[in-house]
Chains A and B, each alone.
Chain A
């Protein structure tokens, strides 16, 4: 049982490049989330998926797209990376409506 896994662990992009951050969970959770973490800003919600086939915007969705590929996988795409997207990105999944939420180890992204 690996929990929540994320790939890659580190990535450096040039401005304007695109990339997809991958996330998978093996806990059979319905809900999955993408957060970004910046110094002094805490964890801010980018997008979430309450169940397979649905996605919703969070606090900071601009510049990102998501895909809930199946129950296990939830990907985050940057179509045209900008330096302001330099951050640490965390994926999470949640058991049920009021259950516990578990985080992956994070992807450290730098955009130059």
Chain B
């Protein structure tokens, strides 16, 4: 089955800096890769996703890149703000199964 590895497990940045979180997946049939943000005491919220026929997608300060050959994808957050502090999860999906998640990255943005 699918296995998703996520790095780093914790990330601390200064306000205004960029943050990058990386994930690798094992199943070459996976074709959908979402990213979720989870704030304390809440359920995960979808923030951006990318499909296997696209190499990059951007939404304001966040972007995701996908390298299918290397089986890795990354989340990029620019101009970080304190409200970006949260746990971020990557996930991978292949048809007929379910989303499998990485173990999460705790992002801390200090002002």
Write the nearest CB–CB distance from B101 to chain A, whole angstroms.
4
If A33-B98, A98-B32 touch, whether A41 touches B43 (CB-CB below 8 Å) is no
> Cβ of A100 and Cβ of B44 under 8 Å apart?
no
Candidates B6, B46, B103, B104; contact of A101 at CB < 8 Å: B46
Q: Determine the chain A residues whose CB is within 8 A of the CB of B89 once the complex forms.
A: 42-43
Is the CB of A97 closer than 8 A to any CB of chain B? yes
In contact, A105 and B43 (Cβ under 8 angstroms):
yes
Of B42, B95, B96, B102, the residue contacting A42 (CB under 8 A) is: B102
Q: Which residues of B contact A104 (CB under 8 A)?
A: 43
Q: By the criterion CB–CB under 8 Å, are A48 and B98 in contact? A: yes
Query: How many A-B contacts if CB must be within 8 Å?
Result: 52
Q: Which of A41, A43, A58 meets B44, CB within 8 Å?
A: A43
Q: A42-B89, A45-B98 are in contact. Are A103 and B103 (CB under 8 A)?
A: no
User: A74 contacts the other chain (Cβ, under 8 Å)?
Assistant: no
Q: Measured between alpha carbons, how far is A100 from B49 in the docked complex, in Å?
A: 8
Contact A98 B45, CB 8 Å, known A33-B98, A42-B89, A43-B101: no
List residues of chain A with CB within 8 A of the CB of B32: 98
Hey, which chain B residues are within 8 Å of A92, CB to CB?
Answer: 99
Contact of B103 among A4, A35, A41, A102 (CB under 8 A): A41
- Residues of A with Cβ closer than 8 Å to B? 4, 31, 33, 35, 40-45, 48, 50, 58-59, 90, 92, 94, 97-98, 100-106
For the complex of A and B, the 9 pairs showing the least CB-CB separation, nearest first, are A103-B43, A42-B103, A43-B101, A48-B98, A42-B101, A103-B44, A105-B43, A98-B32, A42-B104
